[in-house]
Structure 1
Amino acid sequence: MAQLVTIFGGSGFVGRYIARRMAKAGWRVRVAVRRPNEALFVRTYGAVGQVEPVFCNIRDDQSVADVMHGSTAVVNCVGVLAEVGKNTFDAVQSEGPERIARIAAEHKVARMVHVSAIGADIESDSDYARTKAEGEAGVLKHMPQAMILRPSIVFGPEDEFFNRFAGMARMGPVLPVVGAATEFQPVYVDDVAKAAVMGVTGDRPGVYELGGPVTMDFRGLMDLMLDVIRRRRLVLNIPFWAANLMAFGFDTLQFITAGLVRNGMITRDQVRNLRRDNVVAEDAKGFDDLGIEPVAMVSVLPEYLWRFRPSGQYDAIKESARNLRSS
C-alpha cells in the first residue's frame, strides 16, 4: 500500500500545491481542513480515493490525533494573516504546530514539514512573527529532525497579494501601499511545494528560507504588477504613522462588532510587519541547498493577472490589432 501523508491546511494556497505533488509522487494524501466540503476539489489531484479531505481542528488534540493515524509523514501549512474569533495567532501559529508535532511524535510519524515564514522572531513586537517563531520552536521540541520552511511572500494564481492589489488597481487612479521601501523576495508557490515534498520524501532537517531570484521593494512590485496588467496608476506610499491610525480604526471596528465586521484592510500587526524587510538572510539555507532553481515572477504573473487588464483576455488581441494598423 502507498505511504500516507497528512497535510494540515492542505486545501489552502500552499497546501494544495503540496497535495498535488505528493499525489503525483504516488502517495496517499489526507487533506486535514476545517471545512472538508469546501475542499472536495483536492480529490481531482489523484486517482479515486487517493486524495481525501477530512475534518480537523488543530486547536483540539483528539481531532489532530484522528487524522494522524497511519501517516508516514505530516505537513503543516496552517497559518493566519489576521486574527478572527478563536483563530488567534497564539492558537493557530504557536500552539497548533506544537500540538501537531507532539502528536506526530507520539504516533511515531517518520517526518514532518512545517511551513513558517521569513521574519519569524521570538523577540518581535509583531504577534504574527512572534507566534511563527514559537510554532517553529514547538515543532523542533517534539520533532527535532523536522524541516521548517520560511518563504517570503508567496505568489501564484490563488495568491492574496498580487491578485488583491491588481483588483484595487481597477478601482481608481491611485494605488495606496504601506511600506513602499520595504523589500521582499517573492517566491513561486510551486517552488515552495517542491521543497516541502523533498522534506516529506527524504531527510532534510533544519530551517530553509525560501525567496525567489529577484528582490524588490513594495513600490517596485506594484510597478511590475501594473506593467503586467497594463494599467497606469500612482503608487502612493502611506506613512507608517498614518497606517497605524487607519489600522487602529479597522481593528477597533472588528472588536466592537465581535468580528461581525472583519478587518479586511490592514491591521496594526501587519503595519508592524511591513516595517521590516522580508528577504532571505545571507547565512540561511535555501533553494540552493535543495537543488531547486526558483521561478521568476515575470514568467508567471502574466499567466493569471491577465484578467485585470482593461480588456481582460482580449487585451493582447487588441494590442496586436493596433500594431497591424500602425505597420
Structure 2
Amino acid sequence: MPIPSNAPILVIGGTGFVGLSLVERLVARGHTVTLPSRDREKVREDLIPLPGVTVINADVHNPRVLTKLVPGHAAVINLVGTLHGNQTQFRRAHVELPEKIIAAMKQTGVQRYLHMSALGANAMGPSLYLQTKGEAEAQVRNCDLDWTIFRPSVIFGSGKCFLSLFASLLKVAPFVPLAGASSRTQPVWVEDVSRAFIHALEDDNLRNQTLSLVGPTVYTMQELMRYTGKTAGTPRPVIAVPDWFGQLQAAAMSILPRPPLTRDNLASLKVDTIDPAGFAPLLGWRPMALEAIAPMILAQGRARDRYLMLRKQHRNM
C-alpha cells in the first residue's frame, strides 16, 4: 500500500542540504516529520518553524534510542552520509547505522525504508566512501523490509554544494590546479532528488528498486569548474594536475577541520558518477538540467527570485 499523504515520517540525517528540500516537500504533502538531531540548537532555522516538523535531540547511533524513535511512523528515510573520515567513521555512518535502523524497524514492525546511497557505491571500490556505501546497499537489499535505494550523482542546489564551493574558490584564486579533472559526473538537482523520495513513498512499484538519480548532461570535473566560473562571472584557468600532485594537495588540506579535498575523495574520483541509462525511468519525469538552474543559483536579486519560484512550481508536481 502507498504511504498516505498525511502519514508520520521519520527522517534520519535530515538536517542537511538534501534534508531541507525533502522535509519541506514532505510537509507540503501533508506529512508530519520527526527529525532527530545530536544538537537541536544547531538545526537550520528554516527547518524548525516548518508546520508538522518535530526536531528532537537524539543519538541515532544508539539502538535503544532508535527502538523508541521508529514506532508510530509509516516510513523511515535515511539520508546519513559523510565525505570525510577514517575507516571507523565511514563504517559507523554508512554501514553500522543502517544496520541499526533496519534492526529497529524489524523489532517495531515498520516496513517502509528509503535509503540514500551514491552512484559508484561498491564494496570493492577504490575509496572507503564507495566501499562502505556499497556494503550498506548489500545490507539493505538482503533485509526483509520494503526498501528503495537511491543512487544520486553529485547533487546541486541553493546552499552548500559543489557550485558554492567552486564559486568561492574561483573568486579568490587566479587559477585552479585541479586533481581528478577528467573524472565524469552527471549533476542532479536537489529538487529532483527530494521529489524522487516522495514518489517512492506514493508508488508501490518503487519498492525493492535501486534508482539512479542523474542529470541529463555529463561533465568532467574540469568542465564543471570552468562552467561555474563562467556562469558566476569569475572565469579562471583550470589546470588538470597529475595524481601525485593531487595527493600532495590532499595531504596539505587534511590539517583543516573540514578539508575540501582528502585522499579518499581523490580515490572516489577514479569512478565516474554517471549512468548511461539516465535518470531512473520508473520515476516518470525528466530531471532539470544544470544549465537551467545554475545561473539562478550563482546570481543574486531577480535571478534568485526566479529560482525560488521555479523551486516552488517543481514542488507542486
Once residues 35 and 134 of structure 2 are traced to their aligned partners in structure 1, the CA distance between those partners, rounded to angstroms, is 24
Shift of 1:288: 1.8
Question: CA–CA distance in 2 between the matches of 1:112 and 1:157?
Answer: 27
Report whether the alignment pairs 1:213 with 2:213. no
Structure-to-structure mapping, 1:154-303, within 5 angstroms: 154-203=155-204, 204-205=206-207, 206-251=209-254, 253=255, 261-282=256-277, 286-303=279-296
**Does the aligned pair in 2 maintain the 1:74–1:200 contact within 8 Å?**
no
Q: 1:45 aligns with which of 47, 50, 53?
A: 50
CA shift for structure 1 position 76 = 0.4
Please give the secondary structure, in 1, of the residue aligned with 2:146.
Answer: coil
Q: What is the match of residue 10 of structure 1? A: 14
Aligned residues of 1:287 and 1:293 also touching (Cα < 8 A): no
Shift of 1:54: 1.5
Instruction: Tell me if the contact between 2:11 and 2:78 (Cα under 8 Å) persists in the aligned partners.
Output: yes
Secondary structure at the counterpart of residue 149 of structure 1: strand
Separation in structure 2 between the aligned mates of residue 273 and residue 65 of structure 1, nearest angstrom: 34
Q: Retained in 2: the 8 A contact 1:111–1:146? A: yes
Structure 2, unmatched stretches of 5+, are: 304-317
Which has more radius of gyration?
1
Give, in angstroms, the shift of residue 199 of structure 1: 1.7
Map of 1:35 onto structure 2: 39
The answer on 1:304 being equivalent to 2:297 is yes
Structure 2: distance between partners of 1:231 and 1:166: 8
Preserved contact between residue 209 and residue 281 of structure 1 (Cα < 8 Å): no
In 1, Cα distance between equivalents of 2:40 and 2:138: 29
* Contact 2:115/2:150, CA 8 A, preserved across alignment: yes
SS state at 2:287 partner: coil
**How far has the Cα of 1:33 moved from its partner?**
2.1
What SS class does the counterpart of residue 44 from structure 1 fall into? coil
Partner of 2:77: 75
The count of corresponding residues between Structure 1 and Structure 2 is 297
Cα distance in 1 for residues equivalent to 2:154 and 2:192:
12
Q: CA deviation at 1:125?
A: 2.6
Deviations 1:33-75 (A, max 9, x none): 22222225313333xxx11112232321122222212111010
- Cα deviations by residue, 1:204-255 (Å, 9 ceiling, x for unpaired): 121111100111111111121112111220011121111113323444x4xx
> For residues 35 and 292 of structure 1, do their structure 2 counterparts lie closer, same or farther at Cα, with a shift above 3 Å needed?
farther
TM-score (norm. length: structure 1): 0.84
Check conservation: 1:58, 1:92, Cα contact below 8 A.
Answer: no
Q: Which amino acid is the alignment partner of residue 5 of structure 1? A: I
Q: Which SS does the other structure have where 2:49 is aligned?
A: helix
Q: Which SS does the other structure have where 1:42 is aligned?
A: coil
Residue 26 (structure 2) pairs with residue 22 (structure 1):
yes
Equivalent residue, structure 2, for 1:95: 96
Q: How far 1:91 moved relative to its partner?
A: 0.1
Letter in 2 for 1:26: G
Identity %: 27
Q: Would you identify which runs of 4 or more consecutive aligned residues in structure 1 move more than 4 Å? A: none
CA offsets 1:151-185 (integer angstroms, 9 cap, x no match): 00000001321100100011122023211111100
Q: Quote the offset at 1:27 in angstroms.
A: 0.8
Q: Distance in 1 between matches of 2:88 and 2:299?
A: 34
Name the CA distance, whole Å, in 2 between partners of 1:227 and 1:250. 26
Deviations 1:16-43 (A, max 9, x none): 1111111111111111222222225313
Q: Which residue of 2 aligns with 1:113?
A: 114
Distance in 2 of aligned mates of 1:158 and 1:95: 29
Shift of 1:80: 0.4
| Residue segments in structure 1 that go unaligned for 5+ positions in a row | 254-260, 308-312, 316-327
Going from structure 1 to structure 2, the CA distance change for 1:29 and 1:314 (only over 3 Å counts) comes to: closer
Distance 1:244 1:93, change over 3 A: same
Per the alignment, do residues 214 and 93 of structure 1 end up closer, same or farther by CA in structure 2, a change over 3 Å counting?
A: same
> Secondary structure in 2 aligned to 1:280?
coil
Deviation for aligned residue 1:14? 0.7
Indicate if the aligned counterparts of 1:128 and 1:269 stay in contact, CA closer than 8 A. yes
